[in-house]
Amino acid sequence: MDKRAPRALTEPHPARLSPAHPRRTDILEAHAAALEAGQAGYPDPDTGLFVLTAGFLAKRGTCCGRGCRHCPYVDDA
């Protein structure tokens, strides 16, 4: 598990959300709204599945290794 400082909470790693994703704007807007409201997550605009916010994941303190879209601990390398 990674214990480094988390990455920015507003910008997911490109490996987790491609800059070319067709619903990227919708996803980032839903994420930003959930972050601002202090919510743990939001419903994915495509699937309706619950997606955890970077804020919630950062509070955990480490990466869980499950490939979360907004993981703030993903390595930039």
Q: What is the C-alpha separation between 26 and 1, in angstroms, rounded?
A: 30
Contact at 8 Å (CB) between 39 and 57? no
Number of domains in the chain: 1
pTM of the model: 0.86
Instruction: Provide the residue-wise pLDDT of the chain in tens; the chain has 77 residues.
Output: 445 556 689 999 999 999 999 999 999 999 999 999 999 999 999 899 999 999 999 999 899 999 999 999 887 54
> How far is CA 5 from each of CA 19, 34, 37, 65, 69, rounded to the nearest angstrom?
23, 21, 23, 16, 17
Domain membership of residue 47 as a residue range: 1-77
> How far is CA 63 from each of CA 5, 19, 27, 46, 52, rounded to the nearest angstrom?
11, 22, 21, 24, 12
